[in-house]
Amino acid sequence: MPRQVVPIFVIVMTLLFAAIAYVEFFPTETQRLREVARMKASPSQIYARMLVRYDKPPVYEEEWSMQDVEGVSTYQYRIRSYDGKQITITAPPHEVYDVSFFWGKLDQDGVWQLVNRPPRGDTHATYTVYVKQIIDFKHGERTITFTDPHYWATTAGRQYTIDLSKSKPGDLLKMQSTQLADPHYQTVVDDFLTFGPPQFRAKVADVQARVREGK
């Protein structure tokens, strides 16, 4: 092979391999970069709140509220007494606690499966749980109200229904039943009650004791 042909052959093969690499990898890499850009541009917001309202003194209401907006977590606890005293504890500035991790636990523990329940069991306190998420342009939001999470978690019993339009005289005793007891009520409440780093929980326990003792 003549000496001058070798460089031309190398150049041709280099261009050929470059063209093949472009066709094979460039579309995939471009798609990946577009996906990364889309993820960065997509909103990421999660909110969770539990309000407990009491029908007798000394505590009127307690509220735990958490949010994570674009990766920045904030949270606070607020307690208010019947005599008008209110104390709010916010996240310690030097403490980092991942609200998104807490949100994942709420999701896993069935917060989206809870439904409103009528006053049953110990009705001196009413629980209202609120959750909202905006993740990757998908939105979800709900508010659930119930009393006595222990009752609804363990002793709610069963609910029986009869569809008279489809029943025959001999079928009236064949009723459909639904299990009302759902452990998720207690689990979700416990998630809120145990939320936060030790320093935050210690401050919450301190103000709870002070308000209940009337200090």
pTM for this structure? 0.73
Ramachandran angles phi, psi of 203, nearest 5°: -70, -40
**pLDDT tens-digit readout, 35-53:** 444 445 567 899 999 999 9
Q: What is the pLDDT of residue 173?
A: 52
**In the numeric block, which tokens belong to residue 143?**
């508010």
**With bands split at pLDDT 50, 70 and 90, how would you rate the model's confidence at 178?**
low
Taking 3-state DSSP, the helix, strand and coil percentages for the chain, each rounded to the nearest 5, stand at 40, 30, 30
Q: Which of 149, 156, 147, 153 is nearest to 178 (CA)?
A: 156
Tell me the average pLDDT of the chain. Answer: 82
What is residue 32's three-state secondary structure? helix
**pLDDT tens-digit readout, 76-134:** 999 999 999 999 999 876 667 789 999 999 999 999 999 999 999 999 999 999 999 99
- In whole angstroms, what is the distance from residue 97 CA to residue 73 CA? 7
